[in-house]
Amino acid sequence: MRLLFVLALSAFATVALASSRADDEHSHAQPQLVRITDMALDLRVDFATRTLQGEVVHTLAWAEPKANGPAELVLDTRDLAIERVQARVGEGRWQRAAFTLGEPDEILGRRLVISLPGRVEAVRIRYRTSPEASGLQWMPPALTATGRQPLLFSQSQAIHARSWVPLQDTPSVRFTYSARVRTPAGLMALMSADNRPDAQPTGDYRFRMPQPIPSYLLAIAVGDFRFKPLSPRAGIWAEAPVLDRAVAEFADTEAMIAATEALYGPYRWERYDLLILPASFPYGGMENPRLSFITPTVIVGDKSLVSLIAHELAHSWSGNLVTNASWKDFWLNEGFTSYVENRIVEQVFGAEQAAMENVVAQAGLREALRSLPPERQVLALPATPGGDPEDATNDVAYIKGQWFLIFLEQRFGREVFDPFLRKWFDEHAFKSVTTDDFLAFLRRELLAKHPGKVSDAEVAAWIAGPGLPDTAVPATSARLEAVDAARTRWLEGQTTARGIDTSRWITQEWVHFLEGLPADISAQQLLEIDGAFRLTGTANGEIAQRWYPITVRAGYFEARPALAQFLRKVGRRKLILPIYRALAEQSEGDRAFARQVFQQAAPGYHPITRASVQALLDARAP
């Protein structure tokens, strides 16, 4: 393996060449020389041209502020038109600054190099975005819930912020920001900042984010949004047709906040609001501070998918508050968040639902590991110059990372582990960290204080070893064991599908039932299941993303019209990529069907989703 660990004397298993883990190979920026500390945006939203136009002022902190002679500021951009750059030199005077744009890189975009007369305190950049900006989706009225007004939303993670702001696009740099955003009349603008619940659609909005954040948490949305409160510090923004259903589904949000505070300390972002976006949003949620972006695909009527809200809320401690310094250590964001999420679910919805979610998640991880090369199965990933940081977005970071923390909790007990985790958040609040930082903290605060509980080798196996260590204890669920028994009785002919009592099943039980069906199940068997449970046409995306691939592989063509409708309606990558993949792996006729549906659906997909589906279909082309 390229990632090496050393064991020495009383020292802990530590990543070799530790300092390199803070380096970010996915950014042109040079934060070791200069950092952005504050950003002031002034943008105009133009739906006609699908662009943002305006300027940004970056306040700078130099490593050597008193050094003499010329200096350079290197920023990240992608498909931005840079019109003018100025530097503020003494007494607030602005003067022109020369700049160059490097050659475009398919993943990193273009390096913006600004030549400066010295270590100036600020630079001002006038620019406009491209209509094809990878971090922005422009939706015409016909694709919105109301059908009356257009809609815009951003997705900056992992390195898409550079497509709508020239900046240091790396999680190792944190900054505060302010913004003025002007929109067409009647549209509401929101940001990952201090949105006012009583704001009116004036067309001219001002924002301030006083807590320092990394660039991937910079967010904007513009649309016909309305607000309803959930509690004095939490509420929901959404288009009118979605708002009431979202309020009912996410009514337990305040209880989740309180449960997390009891475990891990105060919520430090003042408000926690949710913005329900169209179904084209490429992810389940995005943890933009103060305003989590949420897919409507989790509004299913029984609250069985609200663990997504628990997950995005948990990021207010793990990720937003304590952030991975580079995408090599993505597990520090997502593994910790998945662990905290499950603790919230247990506290608010009960231990059995939390157990079911763990069983389902761990099964997904085992399946993912079958297709990942060993070097991608580790938590502390090796550097990937020239690679795409999106490659770190898989179940290893989320579920193996969570499982490692569950392992520590089991060995030390919650009475020890909970204060340990809270102290981690407290001591590293508003900082960017590496795996080495966590390992040093773990050794000091747990291993040294409780010797003999966990060995260096056991920790190293989790952090740097591929697959799952022998110390991984699988989650169990009595309710899912009952699902296994029911499925077995049906497969063995002891009962009909209609004879299975599913009246109290929630999403996790349906998911477990479907994931346990044999690979050689027949179309006739699926016809019986469908006749009993009406899975074709389900509004539940978690069920749909399992059911439709099964129908494709079994040749159950009766499901095709509903499958196509689902792909045209939903743009969440997690839900649609398994279906496209199943079609692409079958006959040429199936692949042609997939391409036809994609051509119809693509205008409503986010650029990130379009690129993912296109890459999948291209890879499977004969």
Q: What is the DSSP string of 184-241?
A: STT-EEEESS---TT----SEEEEEEEEEEEGGG--EEEESEEEEEEETTEEEEEEHH
Q: Which of 574, 561, 565, 585 is nearest to 608 (CA)?
A: 574
How far apart are the C-alpha atoms of 420 and 446, rounded to whole Å?
7
548 within 8 A of 542, measured Cβ to Cβ: no
How far apart are the C-alpha atoms of 162 and 75, rounded to whole Å?
9
> Alpha carbon of 221 to those of 42, 155, 218, 488: distances in Å?
15, 10, 11, 48
Length of the chain: 622
Token pair for 515? 């994931």
Tell me how crowded residue 91 is: count the other CB atoms within 10 A of its CB: 5
323 within 8 A of 214, measured Cβ to Cβ: yes
Of 312, 346, 390, 458, catalytic: 312
Local structure of 82: helix, strand or coil: strand
How far apart are the C-alpha atoms of 226 and 395, rounded to whole Å?
35
How is residue 251 annotated by DSSP?
T
What sign for the dihedral angle of Cα 549, 555, 558, 561?
Answer: positive
Token pair for 130? 């491209």
Of 127, 177, 339, 398, catalytic: 398
Q: Which amino acid is present at 213?
A: I
Long-range contacts of 256-261 (CB under 8 A, 24+ apart): 256/309, 256/310, 256/313, 256/344, 256/348, 257/231, 257/233, 257/313, 259/343, 259/344, 259/347, 259/348, 260/313, 260/314, 260/316, 260/317, 260/340, 260/343, 260/344
Catalytic site residue 72? no
Among the residues of 70-170, which ranges form H helices? none
Local structure of 135: helix, strand or coil: coil
Token pair for 316? 């207010």
Which helix (H) or strand (E) segment is 600 a member of? helix 588-601
How far apart are the C-alpha atoms of 583 and 590, rounded to whole Å?
5
How is residue 270 annotated by DSSP?
S
Long-range contacts of 486-493 (CB under 8 A, 24+ apart): 486/513, 487/513, 487/516, 487/517, 491/518
Catalytic site residue 312? yes
How far apart are the C-alpha atoms of 529 and 159, rounded to whole Å?
43
Mind telling me the catalytic residues?
Answer: 312, 398
